[in-house]
Structure 1
Amino acid sequence: MAPLPPNVHVSNHPCLRAKLSQLRAKSVSARDVKSLIHELSVIVACEAFATAIAAVDGPKGETPLGFDFTTTTVQPNTMCIVPILRSGLGMVEGVQTILPNPVPVHHLGMYREPSTLDPVEYYNNLPHHIPEDPSSASNASSLAILVDPVIATGGTCAAAIQTLREWGAKRIIVLGIVAAEDGLQRVAAEWPEGTEIWLAGVDKELTQTGMLKPGLGDVGDRLFLTIGK
């Protein structure tokens, strides 16, 4: 494997590696695919947020025994989760499990054009806010958490990063399950100073149709029982 860019982090967690191996199996049911993606998302998010999010003092609280204590909250204050439809939906709950407070969930719908494998955006519900004056206030989140289980050619994820950057996000964390080596290089180079990528594993090869080898198959089809559509 070629050296990974400095903004790419691949977990060595033994439980994560074992669960990724389980998810690769064709025999896994849709119910277990959903559970495994949730569990993998929790672990990847936990590792990513350990460095991407800071703990800060919050307001005073009181324990059940009447003792005062200083609460802990996290920064940045404005975060959002952005799943790439469809398969990114499978990771949202896992990310929400780790975050101590609810955050907005925005959606990006993208697909790869079959003949060129180029990304095509068909849905975007990011709050429209882009100001003409860059110095004026905007509604963009300081940290956008982009979730996409599989990064293959990298075109879709790179396009999503560009969309979030134009929207006004100050930083982006990409959380995924597995990526192809070449696609990962493409994503990492899209906005290296503002993006960190966190993954459970990396595969070396892509098929001629743009699927990872050995990969996970089509995660959206496996999650939503649409294999063979």
Structure 2
Amino acid sequence: MKNVFVLDHPLIQHKISLLRDKNTQTKEFRELVMEISMLMGYEVTRNMPLKEVEIETPVGVAKTNIISGKKLGIVPILRAGLGMVDGLLKLLPMAKVGHIGLYRDPETLGPVEYYCKLPEDVSEREIVVVDPMLATGGSASAAIQYIKDKGVSSIKLMCLIASKDGIDRINKDHPDVAIYCAAVDEKLNDHGYIIPGLGDAGDRLFGTK
């Protein structure tokens, strides 16, 4: 698979297994999504540029590194993407957060936009788009295109579980966008849900049906 990074750290894989379990209740599910997102954040930000600075310690001066380069932005796809934001913000408290609201038309399975609010300086930021499930790829592709239309040139997509169909769609529509996920599942059902997946991430996060 092109431009896809499957994060196989034991902690991530263990928590993904708990997340898939149909008996995992809303509170634990929400906590797991946050924890996995934070763990994945280490890899998503691995290539952030550094610059050397001098820091005065209590006993001397140290030459050390701090993050430089583009500022970061996190854009969850509503509503399930909201569950991933807090985990990333624990690592990246300086990041700004935008929101894109998309829902999947039950007939066409295509994305329908209903809300979008991005930071004013979004074009100057490296953007991480987050959504727990990359199923058909339609919503993620539409969100990425909207962000590109705002002048953003550096975008990553972070999801918990991806389907091969969704990966193919992003690779086709946005070959410049790297995909970070914790698992890749084989197929989709007739309703566009990932099999075996974990069900509807939004419903499980917020206790709705």
Q: Structure 1 length normalisation: TM-score?
A: 0.86
TM-superposed CA distance for 1:163, in Å, is 0.7
Please say if 1:62 is aligned against 2:56.
yes
Residue 108 of structure 2: aligned partner: 116
Contact map agreement 1:158 1:190 (CA 8 A) in 2: yes
Identity rate, percent = 38
Amino acid at match of 1:34: R
CA distance in 1, matches of 2:208, 2:20: 17
Amino acid at match of 2:21: A
Aligned to 2:127, the other structure's residue is in SS state strand
Alignment of 1:124-135 (within 5 A): 124-127=116-119
CA distance in 2, matches of 1:107, 1:146: 9
TM-superposed CA distance for 1:66, in Å, is 4.9
CA distance in 2, matches of 1:153, 1:220: 16
* Cα separation, partners in 2 of 1:146 and 1:15, compared to 1, 3 Å: same
- Structure 1 residue runs of 5 or longer lacking an equivalent are 129-137
TM-superposed CA distance for 1:68, in Å, is 2.8
TM-superposed CA distance for 1:19, in Å, is 1.1
Per-residue deviation, residues 19-55 of structure 1 (Å, max 9, x unmatched): 111100111111111111111111221112112x122
CA distance in 1, matches of 2:193, 2:88: 25
Residue 142 of structure 2: aligned partner: 159
- Structure 2 residue runs of 5 or longer lacking an equivalent are none
CA distance in 2, matches of 1:125, 1:24: 31
Contact map agreement 1:80 1:141 (CA 8 A) in 2: no
Please say if 1:41 is aligned against 2:37.
yes
Count the aligned residue pairs. 209
Residue in structure 2 matching 1:222, options 191, 204, 208: 204
Per-residue deviation, residues 131-155 of structure 1 (Å, max 9, x unmatched): xxxxxxx651331111111011000
Residue 70 of structure 2: aligned partner: 77
CA distance in 2, matches of 1:55, 1:35: 31
Q: Return the structure number with greater strand share.
A: 2
Q: Which runs of 4+ in 1 moved over 6 A?
A: none
Please say if 1:23 is aligned against 2:5.
no
CA distance in 2, matches of 1:30, 1:186: 30
TM-superposed CA distance for 1:62, in Å, is 2.8
TM-superposed CA distance for 1:11, in Å, is 1.4
Residue 140 of structure 1: aligned partner: 123
Aligned to 1:215, the other structure's residue is in SS state coil
- Across the aligned residues of Structure 1 and Structure 2, the Cα RMSD in angstroms comes to 1.6
TM-superposed CA distance for 1:222, in Å, is 0.8
Residue in structure 2 matching 1:208, options 190, 198, 206: 190
Q: Structure 2 length normalisation: TM-score?
A: 0.93
CA distance in 1, matches of 2:164, 2:51: 36
Residue in structure 1 matching 2:98, options 103, 106, 115: 106
TM-superposed CA distance for 1:76, in Å, is 2.6
